[in-house]
Amino acid sequence: MKKELKFVVNGQTYDLWIEPKTVLVQVLRDELGLKGTKRSCDSGSCCACTVLLNGKAVKSCSILALQANGKEILTVEGLANGTQLHPIQEAFLDNWAFQCGFCTSGQMMAAKGLLDENPDPAREEIQLAMDGHLCRCTGYNMINEAIQDAAKRLQTQEEQGGAK
């Protein structure tokens, strides 16, 4: 028997009826068409499906969608402001922190969760926050450098009065 799911995704309210066993990544991709959240391992071990749930980075393949009832979700599609990329997205591009791009959305969402919590993380803190994020194409150095760069960009933006 389907259950009602009401939540906010990328600032938009949704009211859906879903099967109780449905995981969050399925709802985001299949019901809402948000393909930026990748479905890969289905076991929470690769982190490609990372989204923010009430501001915290979570693996959406490991959470029942109904656990998000009444909560706010941010996916990679919600990072940009129209055509203006978020500083994290800019930093990933400028630092070549991607190759095939499959894991990139999960990496960026984890970076957003980290930088919202700790705007000036040390390299070791970045590495700890990104632990478990698997990337088969690029070196993790570029990802760490992109996150450090994003932190600087966000600090500059905040100093200039810009929104996150």
Query: Average pLDDT, whole number, for the chain?
Result: 92
Q: Is the pLDDT of residue 66 over 80?
A: yes
pTM, 2 dp: 0.91
pLDDT at 40: 82
pLDDT at 163: 54
CB burial class (10 A; 0-12, 13-18, 19+) of residue 112?
buried
- Per residue in 133-145, pLDDT tens? 777 776 788 999 9
| 132 vs 74, higher pLDDT | 74
pLDDT at 145: 95
**Residue % of the chain over a pLDDT of 70:** 96
DSSP assignment of 35-62: TTS----SSSSS-TTEEEETTEEEETTS
CATH 3.40.190.10 correct for 3-78: no
**What is the rounded CA–CA span in Å between residue 150 and residue 153?**
5
> What b-and-e string marks burial along 73-90, b requiring 16 or more CB atoms within 10 Å of the CB?
bbbbbbbeeeeeebbbbb
* CATH architecture label of 87-158: Orthogonal Bundle (1.10)
Task: Give the tokens for residue 127.
Answer: 């590495």
Domain parsing of the chain, residue ranges: 3-78, 87-158
List the single range of 26-35, 45-54, 135-144 with lowest mean pLDDT.
135-144
As a whole number of angstroms, the longest Cα–Cα distance in the chain is 51
Domains 3-78 and 87-158 share a fold: no
- Per residue in 95-122, pLDDT tens? 998 877 778 899 999 999 999 999 999 9
